[in-house]
Amino acid sequence: MAVMVDQSSVVRRWLSWRTTNDQRPATISPVLHCLFHDEPPIRTMLLSKEYVGYLAREVTKKLIAGKFIETKAVAAVTEKVHAGILDEFSLEDRINDEVRVILEAYSAEMQKTGANYQEMFRKVKNELVRKYKAVL
């Protein structure tokens, strides 16, 4: 369950700026927009479950070998590390889902003003990242 954040102020502020500055709707396609602007590309990291399991085992081995932790239940520690890695990797997906829900609520208003979905997505996502103090 995603925690809803009042991002309406971000969306409203941007939309009101757009209308008060009398900007016309952007007609350039999202692909061309990304090609001609200095925006970082969307990062995607796809890791198989097996590789995440391997990472968890290796991290656990290194922690034990480096004497950072002591344990008799290596399997239990490995499972906890595995769960932590999966949780961290899924954080960005959860934030993206929350941004989609927020922007869906404003889709009609965004269409009226000609707001760029990708730009709004990035702005709302940055606000959520700051709110959650996430590192992506």
Q: How many CB atoms lie within 10 A of CB 99?
A: 23
Structure tokens at 28: 């350039």
Cβ partners under 8 Å of residue 91, min gap 6: 132, 134, 136
Q: How far apart are CA 122 and CA 136, in angstroms?
A: 13
Q: What is the pLDDT along the chain (136 residues), one digit of tens a residue?
A: 344 444 555 555 555 554 454 444 443 344 444 444 444 444 555 778 899 999 999 999 999 999 999 999 999 999 999 999 998 888 988 999 999 999 999 999 999 999 899 999 999 999 999 998 888 7
- Provide the whole-model pTM: 0.54
Q: What is the largest CA-CA distance in the chain?
A: 67
Q: How far apart are CA 101 and CA 130, in angstroms?
A: 18
